[in-house]
A and B are shown apart, each in its own frame.
Chain A
Amino acid sequence: MTRRLVVERRLFFVFAAFMLSVPWLIPALASVFWVNVITELLIWSLLAASANLLFGYVGLLSFGQALFFGFGMYGVGIGITQFGLSFWPAFGLGVVSAMAMALVCGIFAVRLTWHYFAIITLVFSLIFYFLALTMKPLTGGDDGINFTLPPTFSFGGTQWSFTSTNFQYFFILATVAACFYLMHLVVRSALGKAFLAIRDNDARASLIGLNVYVLRLVAFVMAGFLAGVAGALFAFFGRYASATYMFYQTSGEAVVWAVVGGVGTLLGPVVGTSLLILLREIVSTHWEHYSLIVGALAIIVVIVAPRGLMGLWRDWFDRSRAREQGETQAVPHTEPRTEP
């Protein structure tokens, strides 16, 4: 076994041990404030993952993921306040309505690609943002709707609900982890390979017999599912649903988090979201104008690491492998993918 493989394997074990242990220890190590920050961060990384699934794996740049996030939120909020649903049916309503909306939008949107796709998803999300603002009796408009949280599980007298910060954290951690595992399965499956084929060259993909339109639609609905789960979790987390989260800036942030972390990698969105949100939380306690730091960091990351932080990590790894093999010439640098 070469030394490189040993290093790789060791790093993998360290990483796996980190992923398996640290998230579960956080409530024991951190204060309630930080547990809540990390809970929120997990939800946002799921939204970033939905932007990443479309952009990083299918090559469609969506500026409308906030729409499905919003449908997840409102599915939960309206389900609880208007229909008196309990936790799980409300959760289901949120996710299903987000997916249904993604299907309807997708039927039209995936006919277009690149700039046109970005603009049409932006336009669709704006339409529903303004609709949500006007339909005040149903959506509460700008103020949103507040609701009291139904318990998640109840067995006789014992109940578990989001009123416990730790339960809330573990529930959201498990759900987000399950979604990322699902995405991992999809990406590694034949379907995932088909997505990559479309991303790299859609004409060739259609020539080898892939139905590009249907596959793009499938990816769009899957991304709607991820965003919908994120929105539903966020509604439970904040105990409210509001139209403000459906504005295009939320969609834009999801894209930014994904690109900073590294698109086309499974965990890139988690890395990017963690970096930017933790930084925001750390700086904002000391300095009111923390946006300056976040903005500057976003710029520095894309200049220094055009393939995102995960790309930087891989480059470092490739270089260390090159040293290992005693190559004198530099590793051929792969250019960042420009246009799908």
Chain B
Amino acid sequence: MDTLLLLALNGLIWGLIIALIALGLSVIFGLLDIINIAHGDFFMVGTILAWFALEITGSFWVGFIIVPLLCFALGALIQRVVIQPIRGVAALSIVATFGLSLILQEVVRMTFGATPRRMLSPIPGTVPLFGIQYDVYRVFAAVVSLAALGAFFAFLQHTKIGTWMRAVRHDRDTAIAMGIPAQRVYRYTFAIGFALAGFAGVVAAPITNVDFRGGVDLLPVCFMAVIIGGLGNLPGTAAAAILLAVMEGVIESFATPTVARITSLVLMSAVLLLKPQGLFKGHTR
């Protein structure tokens, strides 16, 4: 019972982190029509930058603040250089972001090295939670991830740029006719997607391996969350990410992680075939 609870809680926290990554993937996909193969690597870049920030400054919290900002800037740069010239042609976006993924992984391998490393937890210790001893840092990770999710939705609903983003997503031509600077919205959207993934990387860095291939396994899960949640349905995406990770955690308590992964994949194909619009009702693109 204790293992079940522990793994379900771990799954919940991973689910929140994956939700952050998948939301970025979903807005980039919804607004720019970019199938972003490099999105897992954006997460990986976040974990690596967190590791470097800790190495250089000696404090995890410096990276916690700086890394999302760095990722935002990097995202804006990449959008300008790589994404803007291909103008949302989906087939080309796969190739371009595949190339981007190769470049990001190789740069990290050159600078960080190919050996996976572990980071020490910045908040050591455990707290009693539902009768088990649970890492304080994981609780903290859950809280900040939730806060970031909330902040992102608030940003979409209540700020000018967020409103622009929703407008361009809803009807690009009308939005441009109404004077919304679509090009700038694309730049912001891509940068925000990168920043979300990078932030997820910083939060996850102390509870996972810091590795140049860290994004590879994560990418399919994020795509699945986007599809299961319903294309363009952002709350659905977040819910699907959490559901997937918790389910895998629960199955892991009585089977190997691989069997858990297979089970969730089989369920996923059932959802895709029976309800291709996604599990959750709501506004879609």
From A111, A126, A130, A336, give the contact of B273 (CB < 8 A): A111
Q: Looking at chain B, what size class is its interface with the partner chain? A: 35 or more
Inter-subunit contact A116/B272 (CB<8 Å): yes
Is the C-beta of A42 less than 8 angstroms from some C-beta in chain B? no
For A78-93 the 0/1 string (1 means CB < 8 A from B) is 0000000000000000
CA distance A63 to B85 in the complex (A): 24
> Which segment of A220-228, A231-239, A301-309 sits at the interface?
A301-309
Question: Is there an interface contact between A295 and B85, defined as CB atoms closer than 8 Å?
Answer: no
Looking across the interface, which residue of chain B has its beta carbon closest to that of A56?
A: B91
Structural contact, B96 and A299, CB atoms closer than 8 A:
yes
Question: Which residues of the partner chain B approach A118 to less than 8 Å between Cβ atoms?
Answer: 35
B211 to chain A, nearest CB (A): 15
Of A30-38, A190-198, A251-259, A314-322, the one touching chain B: A251-259
Interchain pairs with CB closer than 8 A, number: 124
Task: Provide the bound-state CA to CA distance between A232 and B256, in Å.
Answer: 30
Q: Is the CB of B95 within 8 A of A119?
A: no
A338 at the interface (CB under 8 A from B): yes
Q: Which residues of A contact B118 (CB under 8 A)?
A: none
Scoring B residues 100 to 117 as 1 if CB is less than 8 Å from chain A, else 0, what string do you get?
111101110110000000
Q: In whole angstroms, what is the CA distance A175 to B258 when docked? A: 36
A120 CB contact (under 8 Å) in B88, B98, B231, B269: B269
Q: Given A108-B273, A289-B109, A289-B110, A260–B95 Cβ distance below 8 Å?
A: yes
In whole Å, how far is B77's beta carbon from the nearest beta carbon of chain A? 13
Contact assessment for B261 and A259 in the assembled complex, using a CB-CB cutoff below 8 Å: no
State whether B269 touches A123 (Cβ < 8 A): yes
- Once the chains bind, are B89 and A338 in contact (CB under 8 Å)? yes
Could you tell me the distance between the alpha carbons of A124 and B216 in the complex, rounded to whole angstroms? 17
Residues in A whose Cβ lies below 8 Å from that of B95: 255-256, 259-260, 298-299, 301-302
Q: Nearest chain A CB to B127's CB is how many angstroms away?
A: 34
Q: Which residues of A contact B37 (CB under 8 A)?
A: 252
How far apart sit A249 and B261, CA to CA, in the bound complex (Å)? 18
A292, B94: Cβ atoms under 8 Å? no
B37, B86, B92, B268: which has the most chain A beta carbons within 10 Å? B92
List 5 extra interface pairs beyond A108-B269, A263-B91, CB under 8 A.
A111-B273, A123-B220, A289-B106, A289-B109, A292-B102
Residues of A within 8 A of B85 (CB): 303
Residues of A within 8 A of B256 (CB): 134
